[in-house]
A and B are shown apart, each in its own frame.
Chain A
Amino acid sequence: MRFSLLLLFSCCLLNGAFAQQRTNSSASPATFSATGYVRDGKTGKPIQSVNIVVLNVSKGYVTAKDGFYTIQLPPGDYILRFSHVGYRPKQDTISLQKTLFREVTMEDDSKDLEEVVVTSESPDRNVRKVEIGVSQLTIRSIRRIPPLMGEVDVLRSLLLLPGVTTVGEGAPGFNVRGGGADQNLILFDEAPVFNSSHLMGFFSVFNPDVVRDVTLNRGGVAAAFGGRASSVLDVKIKEPDAQKWGINGGIGIISSRLGIEGPIIKNKLSFLLAARASFNDFIFKLAPPNLKGTQANFYDLTSKLKYQPNEKNTITLTGYLSTDVFKLASDSLSGQEINASSTKFNYQTMNTVLRWNYFMSKQLNLASSVILSRYQADLSSSDSSNAFQLKSGIWHRQVKSDLTFTPNEVHQWQVGLSAIDYLVQPNTRIPGPYSNVLPVDLARERAYELAAYIQDEWKLNTNVAIIAGLRYSALLNRGPAAVRTYQENGPKEDEAVTSTKTYEAGTVYHSAGGLEPRLAVRWTVGDGRAIKAGYSRLRQYIQQVTNTTAALPTSRWHLSDMYTKPVIADQWSLGYFMNTADNAIEASGEVYYKTLTNAIDYRDGAELQLAPAVETQIVQGSGKAYGFEGLLRKNKGRWTGFMSYTYARTFLTMNSPYVTEQVNNGNPYPANYDKPHTLNILATHRPTTWFSMSLNFTYSTGRPTTQPSALARVAGVLIPIYLDRNQQRVPDYHRLDFSMTFEQNPLKKKKNQSSWVFSIYNVYAHKNAYSIFYKLSPASLSDAYKLSIFGTAFPSLTYNFKF
């Protein structure tokens, strides 16, 4: 022992002397590089974005997508600290005298007590990374959040993040910093997801068993992303296990899951397949008779094939299919006005992504993808005389390529190109065989969305780093199309059409585009403290137009054209970030101000579904959103958790010289999702390695609603009179959830692992308002009613297994 220490010591001395000599000689290189892969110790999978800090010189590096790292340093001895969420941090001492190649393995930290909760990047990423307004959640932290009906849900967990809200529990989609639900670019392994909800909004379409992590960019969106105005939600599918075969799954009240993964050729070709399906029809069999025919089923299937012929090339093929059937049986309760006896919603997402990552050298990496995404929805009624089927769909075909160039440790350049071919089928109505309904076939919308970008992450000095990016995007509408001309000096109405011009297939008849600058600056002001600022401009060319508070699966998507201008969002944000107590405590505060140009809302009495020209039903105006987001988090110890508070406001203004194109007489009004105050608290206690419990409390201001201001009686019918939109609010929302997880003791090594999760949603059974509605009934002494959908405590139990 003593001998080896001495030897090491003398080596250092010798090396030091040698290095001294080398630096003095001008011909010799000033630095050496240490390179290698960081892999998972158990599965051998490369780990991306591992933070590598050279402790004695305070320099930081990050591993590339394939786990590869390069460290450039003058000769010497260094202590490297490797850290990544979900892994036990590791320290390594290297003696850099020549180019080193070093493989590093990291161990899963799931057995550790240092549990990281919710947004958890590596311990000090909070203050080190340059981006502002970016949160990452690993699937392990998502699993700690008390689930609704036992369903671990990616999107529901996002609602705990500051700045993310929803219009109601069980509503599809989410709203980020004052943006509509259609302004979030939701990517599932790079393919866009146009409807992220199962069962009309209760659960999200992502199978938790295949999700690796989730990143939400709500502030500084990187130049590589574009096409939506509010945020980018990047959901990554895990890499298939390249070492051994395994089966996992779970049984819950709503859905059951089964997955298999493993190597077809060890370390070269591996495969993953996971299925999730609901088996809840039996609930309806026990239901009141008039609901017996109700059908509400979904399934989804995720597959990923990974081929890694050598260290430089990785090819993956991702496939995803999700289907929902929602059939409403009798309508005997809905009044006499309808003679349809059932309505069926059917919607499906089908995505395919082929991706090739070519690691050319330690400086260059090229990633190219071909992406196909299809969303189809239909609404049908099967009654003979009024039978119809209403079909709609979006086809998104994309090719893209991103090149990363890291010439040195100061700069990281990224350039990329993307081309999307859109085909939108608004609505086609097909009558049934004996139906009196006339067929309708609205014109398809076709366009190319092209984009190119360049970005540099530049470390100016040890304290200041910036990410500066510039993106150019454009939309080219192409024929066949019939384009209307409206009377000047008047509102756009069907009656005001003066002429219609038709364009041949392939003719580009309109284009719109522009620059989207992005900037993020980080200034480290002290140990574990940083100030960050960001600006971004985002342009959106495809919108979902709806006049309902929450979008239906059949709600219409519409491409920008000469009458519907692209939505442009400009956002400025500023934040202060602090880590103390060896990164155990994190605190941050961010403020943002955002303007929306060409924000969309519907006109009074709009009928969007079968309108031949969307511009006659919608209005465009301006919007502004601003707010503060504060977060305090404890990452270590037996008690972990966080508290977040958000103040956020969103106002829209739709003004026009014409009354029918105004909303609320052209005055600003709160958007549907304007909820000023939100407080979220999550606490997890883990007294032993096999048991943990979590408590989650959430409070938010009620969403705006429109209340009738007067009453008229016309021909015996009582008519509520509504004046201005969104001037009242539903009552405030608050809820407490609880969950307990029993796992096997990891110390008793067993081949099969299983766990039980018991949870209670809405512990104190608060009757939160899902909606407020107004009905006059002489039998009742009230004229307003509150509908609560989870009006009681809701317990559930889920069993998970892994072989």
Chain B
Amino acid sequence: MKTGKDILRLGKYMGLLLMLLAVSCVTEFQPEAVSIPPSLIVEGQVTDQAGPYSIKLTRTANYSFKSLNLLETGAIVTISDNLGNKETLKETLTGGTYETASLRGVVGRSYKLAIQTKAGKRYESDTEVLPAAPPILKLYYEYTKEAGEANLTKSQGWDVYLDTKDPEVTGNYYRWTWTHFEFTSVCFKRELANGSLTGLGCCSNCWDITRCYNCISISSDVNINGQAISRQFISRVPYKSKSKYYLEVQQQAISKGAYNFWKSVRQLTGNTGGLFDAAPSIVRGNIHCVSDPAEMVYGYFGATGVSEQYINVDRIDGQGVPDVDPPVIVPVPSTCVACENNLYRTPNKPRWWQF
């Protein structure tokens, strides 16, 4: 909700204002160590797009930049729907991630996740109904210069917006995500002692992938039911090149539970700890332990309707020289490196790539 967001932001502003009024400062701080036994974290969703869908199981870690979330391997993970279809997921080679083979989500059906860990504990999710996502009506961008930014190049950018139409019925919840693909010829790079970059070329076509995980862009129709959702901000494209910027935008229809989950996550991650921040609280997901209801389980199993659209942002109008990344010198001759398919890079051509 709008106002809640504003309050969140106020904490940051208060900090800024005070910085001026007085001299405020942020310093590192060593808090007393707090630790709890590792609890299960579940993430993953079924969508109405083609699979495979994956469920990832991990364990909570101590709150520290050093800690790692350990993978939960060897579990039996099944997804069932309200028509009695059931599929047991297969664990991938890296472990902790479980994938479907044939399941495909259908709008209107409800889905449920069941887990049995190696230690024999059983967990279940609430049933989630897969809602339909309305189509993205328009995806567009506007060139703006941020007032105040001294650096002309950095002040320029293209704000990408989305228009859609909320259905007449109430109870629609949305989440927007974006993925940017950029063609790359360098698949390995490293910094030399003098600060310049050296690297190795890719053996195949390769695209770098950029996402913003912490940008939790969600909305509900509580405030706008049945009306157009217009100028929903998606992302700001930086002026780092004169070439076109390829962006895929996903509009997700999520359940009320998922919306609340992401809303509290956003509240927590946006928290600056100020006196005007909403007090932190437990993020409740939709998974529970069957044998011990008091055991805390984190994360969310979602059933999500998806509609997708792409846009190429033309950056030819940018003023001055773009803020290009430092060049990577590939020595000739040199070997090539395979383009791995992972979260940050892919050898597969993006869906709407035209160049």
Contacts and interface: CB of A to CB of B under 8 A. Distances in A.
Interface of A: 149, 167-168, 170-171, 199-202, 280, 283-284, 287-292, 294, 296, 328, 330-340, 343, 379, 381, 385-386, 388, 390, 429, 436-438, 440, 547-550, 552, 602, 604-605, 607, 609-610, 705-723, 725, 728, 731, 767, 769-774, 776-778, 780-792, 794
B274 A787 contact: yes
B22 A336 contact: no
B39 A710 contact: yes
B62 A711 contact: yes
A294 B149 CA distance: 15
Contacts of B264: 605
B223 A767 contact: no
B269 A717 contact: yes
B242 interface: no
A283 B20 contact: yes
A723 B14 CA distance: 27
Contact of A339 (B27, B65, B233): B233
B331 interface: no
Interface in B206-225: 211-217, 222-225
A714 B41 contact: yes
B314 interface: no
Interface in B1-49: 1-7, 9-10, 12-32, 34-36, 38-39, 41, 43
- Listed from nearest, the 10 A-B pairs whose CB atoms lie closest are A289-B148, A773-B273, A716-B213, A604-B281, A782-B28, A550-B275, A339-B233, A786-B29, A710-B60, A789-B18
A56 B277 CA distance: 62
A440 B31 CA distance: 42
A552 B216 CA distance: 25
Interface string B248-269: 0000000000001000111011
B25 A337 contact: no
B148 A292 contact: yes
A75 B343 CA distance: 101
Interface residues of B, number: 96
A720 B274 contact: no
B256 to A, nearest CB: 11
Nearest to B267: A605
B271 to A, nearest CB: 7
Interface in B59-114: 60-65, 67, 69
B146 A787 contact: no
A711 B61 contact: yes
Contacts of A717: 213-214, 216, 265, 269
Given A707-B34, A728-B32, A787-B26, 16 more contacts: A201-B275, A291-B16, A438-B222, A548-B279, A605-B284, A709-B35, A712-B69, A713-B69, A717-B265, A769-B29, A774-B31, A784-B29, A785-B27, A785-B28, A787-B15, A792-B25
A709 B224 contact: no
B3 A379 contact: yes
B270 interface: yes
B12 A437 contact: no
Contact of A385 (B10, B213, B231, B298): B231
A763 to B, nearest CB: 14
B118 to A, nearest CB: 20
B268 A719 contact: yes
B167 to A, nearest CB: 15
Contact of B276 (A292, A334, A548, A716): A548
A706 B279 CA distance: 8
Contacts of B217: 336-337
B2 A381 contact: yes
B25 A336 contact: no
Contact of A609 (B3, B41, B269): B3
Residue among A171, A334, A707, A787 with most chain B CB within 10 A:
A787
A783 B64 contact: yes
A548 B275 contact: yes
A789 B276 CA distance: 14
B212 A336 contact: yes
A610 B5 CA distance: 13
A715 B252 CA distance: 14
Contacts of B316: none
Contacts of B2: 340, 381, 386, 388, 437
B60 A712 contact: yes
Contacts of B150: 289
Given A331-B9, A337-B5, A605 B281 contact: yes
Contact of A784 (B25, B31, B43, B61): B31
B279 A547 contact: yes
Residue among A330, A549, A731, A769 with most chain B CB within 10 A:
A549
Residue among B2, B9, B212 with most chain A CB within 10 A:
B2
A705 B275 CA distance: 10
B210 to A, nearest CB: 12
A385 B272 contact: no
A642 B28 CA distance: 36
B299 interface: yes
Contacts of A436: 223-224, 227-230
B26 A786 contact: yes
